[in-house]
């Protein structure tokens, strides 16, 4: 039964009970009475909008609940978001097939501007030191997995979509759902319990426009610094990585043979992974996790200089790339950012030291269009520039709330967390938003069941299965990304030496693969993504030609710089590490 908009504070049938404490009831009541809602979602990011959209498509929930979504920013800006053809927003997510099915299920997928999405058919990931490499594609998805679906191209692993494209599509699904009240340009200022009545356990939200909402169920989809989480007093565990992610939209030439841009590339450098995520035949998204000072220096570079640096980061042996980092930092410190021609000169010099020919696939320098060099499919296309205004950086953190539900025994019941409000992770497996969408999918399932049972949707009986079914799955995903980040970021030479042999990293790359392939929902059947990754071990490793190629390049590189101070230092470190 739909609650009427005019709020009646007390039910007439209860007059007798209410009657008894008039003083206590009205003493501190705000001048404007609280508006009652069954479900209040705080946050209109991708998780909050997906939740609103999916709830509106559950007939049981939509027919029986008054729903509001509160967003500090402007949703009209999202609704009206457009971008020129060939240009892309810098916030892009790789959407797993499981997430895609979920969005498809309530019609949101159909509202995406499909011309701006890009299917990913292959992922290549390799180690920055040894060049040990794995390539994976759909043959690695178990045929029973929900990630295999008739709606998908058979060869599709994931889809690259701009976050704003998703958010706009979600808003469109809500256009014919007037009973979901979208309150934007308003901030949640505070969340409290009714001070006048202890037995009223409904959270009360005070908004920046002076309104008060009273929520049967309050859901925090309000991102990493969640005010809802603060109200629930749920502590969270985690740490900041000494790492920032630099993002931007990369431009490159179309493939000389006209092949589609359907491969994602990720190279694991000791400073963090750099990823190339395809968006169109001539554009891709950059996610480069690196040390904060390097991120700051990169953001000062002009588009052409940064493009050269990105090309080198995918190709140049680590020793030289690390040297380039030093040059970058020095020029940044002196207030004269590296120019494109200086960058090119440095890279060219380094390549000569490694005997990398300008026409080889390992060369970061643009050559005239011609037949692609042998092995060039192992590297992303050469970037010539970045889209104006798209270069930005984000600090990276791992956080996991101790619980997804506020404790009713501590008076913080009727609350749940989803998405980045509940967990944040390193973007190396591209799973953050996918985890949030899997949360939303499960929470909606629970609320739908609750509505069918006539349950109070704010109660633990309804919400507990959500927490039970999502917590462990998210936790293993967070652990895998955390472990991978740490393994690759190890700078001690014995560890680097062990890795440079290419043997250690194979397992790590498999774990990454497990995380990517099983992410965002499939992990429900397979809660331990690490273990799942191992299942792939038998069939999917490809420490193939590219590895040998890379290893040879590394060795010859070392040989040619052996006479330098760095070369001697490296030589002795390797010898020592070998003895240990």
Partner 1 sequence: MLSVIPRQLGYSTRLFRHFATNAESLASPTVDPIEIEHFSKLSAQWWDEHGELKMLHRMNPPRVAWLKEKIAELRDLEGEPSSPSWKALGGLRILDIGCGGGLLSESLARLGASVTGVDAAASNIAIARIHQSHDHSLNNLVYRHAAVETLAVEGQQYDAVCAMEVLEHVDEPKNFLKSCAEVIKPGGHLFLSTISRTPFAHLLTIAIAENTLHLVSPGTHNYDKFIRPSELIKFFKDLGWLTGTYEDRPNAQEAEVRGIMYFPGNGDWQLSNRGSSWGEQCNYLFWARKPKTP
Ligand X SMILES: Cc1cc2nc3c(=O)[nH]c(=O)nc-3n(C[C@H](O)[C@H](O)[C@H](O)COP(=O)(O)OP(=O)(O)OC[C@H]3O[C@@H](n4cnc5c(N)ncnc54)[C@H](O)[C@@H]3O)c2cc1C
Residue ranges in contact with ligand X by CB under 6 A: 42-48, 70-73, 93-94, 163, 187-188, 221-223, 227, 245, 247, 287, 394, 419-420, 427, 430-434, 436
Q: Considering the complex, state which of residue 63 and residue 490 has its C-beta at the smaller distance from partner 1.
A: 63
Q: Considering the complex, state which of residue 7 and residue 552 has its C-beta at the smaller distance from partner 1.
A: 7
Separation CA 568–CA 580 (nearest Å) = 19
Helix (H) or strand (E) holding 449: helix 432-452
- To the nearest 10 degrees (0 to 180), the angle between helices 318-333 and 303-315 is 150
Provide the minimum distance between the beta carbon of 218 and ligand X in the complex, in angstroms, as a whole number. Answer: 12
Q: Considering the rule CB under 8 A, would residue 396 count as an interface residue with partner 1?
A: no
Q: Which of 113, 122, 184, 201 binds partner 1 (CB under 8 A)?
A: 201
Q: Considering the complex, state which of residue 68 and residue 188 has its C-beta at the smaller distance from ligand X.
A: 188
Helix (H) or strand (E) holding 552: helix 545-560
Q: Considering the complex, state which of residue 137 and residue 500 has its C-beta at the smaller distance from ligand X.
A: 137
Tell me if 73 sits within 8 A of 185, measured CB to CB.
yes
Q: Considering the complex, state which of residue 202 and residue 288 has its C-beta at the smaller distance from ligand X.
A: 288
CA 13 to chain centre: 50
Residue 460, Cβ density class (10 Å: 0-12 exposed, 13-18 middle, ≥19 buried) = middle
Provide the minimum distance between the beta carbon of 549 and partner 1 in the complex, in angstroms, as a whole number. Answer: 52
Provide the minimum distance between the beta carbon of 191 and partner 1 in the complex, in angstroms, as a whole number. Answer: 17
With H, G, I as helix, E, B as strand and everything else as coil, classify residue 322: helix
C-alpha closest to that of 246 among 214, 199, 286, 215: 286
Provide the minimum distance between the beta carbon of 194 and partner 1 in the complex, in angstroms, as a whole number. Answer: 9
Helix (H) or strand (E) holding 323: helix 318-333
Interface positions, 428-467, toward partner 1 (CB under 8 A): 449-456, 459-461, 464
C-alpha closest to that of 112 among 151, 144, 148, 145: 151
Provide the minimum distance between the beta carbon of 554 and partner 1 in the complex, in angstroms, as a whole number. Answer: 52
Residue 289: what are its φ and ψ, rounded to 5°?
Answer: -85, 125
Q: Considering the complex, state which of residue 40 and residue 343 has its C-beta at the smaller distance from ligand X.
A: 40
Spell out the residues 6+ positions from residue 503 whose beta carbon is closer than 8 angstroms to its own: 132
Q: Choosing among partner 1, ligand X, none, which partner's interface includes residue 261 (Cβ < 5 to 8 Å by kind)?
A: none
Provide the minimum distance between the beta carbon of 247 and ligand X in the complex, in angstroms, as a whole number. Answer: 5
Interface positions, 206-225, toward partner 1 (CB under 8 A): 216
Provide the minimum distance between the beta carbon of 75 and ligand X in the complex, in angstroms, as a whole number. Answer: 9
Size of the site for partner 1 (CB under 8 A): 45
Q: Considering the rule CB under 8 A, would residue 29 count as an interface residue with partner 1?
A: no
Q: Choosing among ligand X, partner 1, none, which partner's interface includes residue 349 (Cβ < 5 to 8 Å by kind)?
A: none
Structure-token match 């410190």, residue found: 333
Q: Provide the mask over 42-61, with x wherever binding to partner 1 is found by CB under 8 A and - wherever it is not.
A: -----------------xx-
Structure-token match 């949703």, residue found: 75
C-alpha closest to that of 360 among 128, 134, 567, 552: 552
Q: Considering the rule CB under 8 A, would residue 17 count as an interface residue with partner 1?
A: yes
Separation CA 480–CA 425 (nearest Å) = 10
Provide the minimum distance between the beta carbon of 10 and ligand X in the complex, in angstroms, as a whole number. Answer: 29
Tell me if 286 sits within 8 A of 310, measured CB to CB.
yes
C-alpha closest to that of 261 among 135, 99, 380, 127: 380
User: What does the binding site for partner 1 look like in residue numbers (CB under 8 A)?
Assistant: 1, 3, 7-11, 13-14, 16-21, 23-24, 36, 38, 59-60, 63-64, 198-202, 216, 408-409, 413, 449-456, 459-461, 464, 468
């Amino acid at each position: 039964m739909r609650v009427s908009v005019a709020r009646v504070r007390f039910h007439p049938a209860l007059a007798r009970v209410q009657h008894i404490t008039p003083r206590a009831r009205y003493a501190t009541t705000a001048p404007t009475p609280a508006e009652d809602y069954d479900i209040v979602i705080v946050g209109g990011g991708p998780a909050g909008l997906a939740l609103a959209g999916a709830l509106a498509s559950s007939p049981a929930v939509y027919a029986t609940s008054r729903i509001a979504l509160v967003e500090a920013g402007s949703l009209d800006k999202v609704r009206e978001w457009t971008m020129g053809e060939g240009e892309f927003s810098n916030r892009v997510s790789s959407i797993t097939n499981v997430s895609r099915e979920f969005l498809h299920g309530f019609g949101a997928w159909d509202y995406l501007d499909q011309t701006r999405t890009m299917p990913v058919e292959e992922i290549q990931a390799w180690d920055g030191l040894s060049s040990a490499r794995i390539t994976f594609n759909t043959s690695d998805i178990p045929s029973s997995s929900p990630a295999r679906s008739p709606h998908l191209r058979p060869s599709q692993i994931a889809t690259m979509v701009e976050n704003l494209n998703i958010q706009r599509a979600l808003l469109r699904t809500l256009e014919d759902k007037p009973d979901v009240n979208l309150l934007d340009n308003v901030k949640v200022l505070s969340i409290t319990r009714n001070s006048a009545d202890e037995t009223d356990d409904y959270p009360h939200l005070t908004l920046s426009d002076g309104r008060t909402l009273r929520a049967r169920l309050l859901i925090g989809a309000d991102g990493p610094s969640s005010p809802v989480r603060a109200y629930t007093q749920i502590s969270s565990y985690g740490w900041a990585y000494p790492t920032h992610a630099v993002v931007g939209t990369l431009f490159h030439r179309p493939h000389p043979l006209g092949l589609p841009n359907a491969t994602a590339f990720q190279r694991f450098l000791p400073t963090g992974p750099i990823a190339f995520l395809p968006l169109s035949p001539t554009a891709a998204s950059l996610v480069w996790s690196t040390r904060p000072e390097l991120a700051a220096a990169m953001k000062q570079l002009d588009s052409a200089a940064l493009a050269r640096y990105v090309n080198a980061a995918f190709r140049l042996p680590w020793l030289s790339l690390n040297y380039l980092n030093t040059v970058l930092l020095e020029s940044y410190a002196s207030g004269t950012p590296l120019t494109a021609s200086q960058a090119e000169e440095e890279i060219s010099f380094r390549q000569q030291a490694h005997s990398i020919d300008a026409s080889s696939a390992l060369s970061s320098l643009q050559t005239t269009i011609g037949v692609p060099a042998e092995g060039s499919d192992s590297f992303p296309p050469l970037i010539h520039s970045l889209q104006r205004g798209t270069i930005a950086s984000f600090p990276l953190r791992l956080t996991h709330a101790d619980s997804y539900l506020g404790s009713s025994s501590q008076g913080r019941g009727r609350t749940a967390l989803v998405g980045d409000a509940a967990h944040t992770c390193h973007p190396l497996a591209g799973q953050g938003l996918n985890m949030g969408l899997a949360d939303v999918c499960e929470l909606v399932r629970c609320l739908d069941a609750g509505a069918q049972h006539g349950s109070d949707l704010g109660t633990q009986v309804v919400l507990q299965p959500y927490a039970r079914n999502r917590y462990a799955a998210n936790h293993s995903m967070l652990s895998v990304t955390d472990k991978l980040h740490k393994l690759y970021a190890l700078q001690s030479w014995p560890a680097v030496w062990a890795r440079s042999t290419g043997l250690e990293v194979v397992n790590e790359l498999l774990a990454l693969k497990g995380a990517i392939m099983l992410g965002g929902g499939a992990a429900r059947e397979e809660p331990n993504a690490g273990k799942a990754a191992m299942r792939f071990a038998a069939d999917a490793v490809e420490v193939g030609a590219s590895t040998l190629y890379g290893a040879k390049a590394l060795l010859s590189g070392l040989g040619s710089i052996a006479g330098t101070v760095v070369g001697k230092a490296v030589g002795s470190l390797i010898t020592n590490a070998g003895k240990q």
